[in-house]
Amino acid sequence: MTPRFVANILRSAWLWHLARVLITFMYWWAALGFLTDFSGAQAVMGLTGIQPLWLVAALTIAVQLTGSALIILDRAVWLGSGMLATFTLLTIPLVHHFWTMAGLEATQAMLESEEHLSVVGGLIVVSIHSFVRKERRVA
């Protein structure tokens, strides 16, 4: 049985909002950094091998900010989560391709890939929770 004070916290609007801000933090924070240093963003995008770098950087920023905003604002959370999850999963073969690496570099890339899978799981949970909250409000 969940204690009453814990249940009240878990039902609170402020915690739901905080969770949405935190699950998207790494995306919107990176996008803001890329906006302030667009040449640096292009250099990071060079790791993917996809050209033109300016377009890859601009699309990355757009996906990170749009997906984050949809989740934070609790609007079409499924779409924002889908955008960020797809982006995150694509980084594994494009950036964190541990199967082509050796030693410490391979280990680090594999650990980052595993973390990415956990973040995708969190994005799925946020989508489910948003859907259920809205469905219960309507019913």
Contacts of 30 (CB under 8 A, 6+ apart): 64
Q: Is the peptide bond before 3 cis (omega within 30 degrees of 0)?
A: no
User: What predicted TM-score, i.e. pTM, was given to this entire model?
Assistant: 0.92
Q: What is the pLDDT of residues 80-126, one digit of tens each?
A: 999 999 999 999 999 899 999 999 999 999 999 999 999 999 999 99
Burial bucket for residue 39 (CB in 10 Å: 0-12, 13-18, 19+): exposed
Residues 81/126, Cβ–Cβ less than 8 Å: yes
Residues 27/122, Cβ–Cβ less than 8 Å: no
Q: What is the pLDDT of residues 37-87, one digit of tens each?
A: 999 999 999 988 889 999 999 999 999 999 999 999 999 999 999 999 999
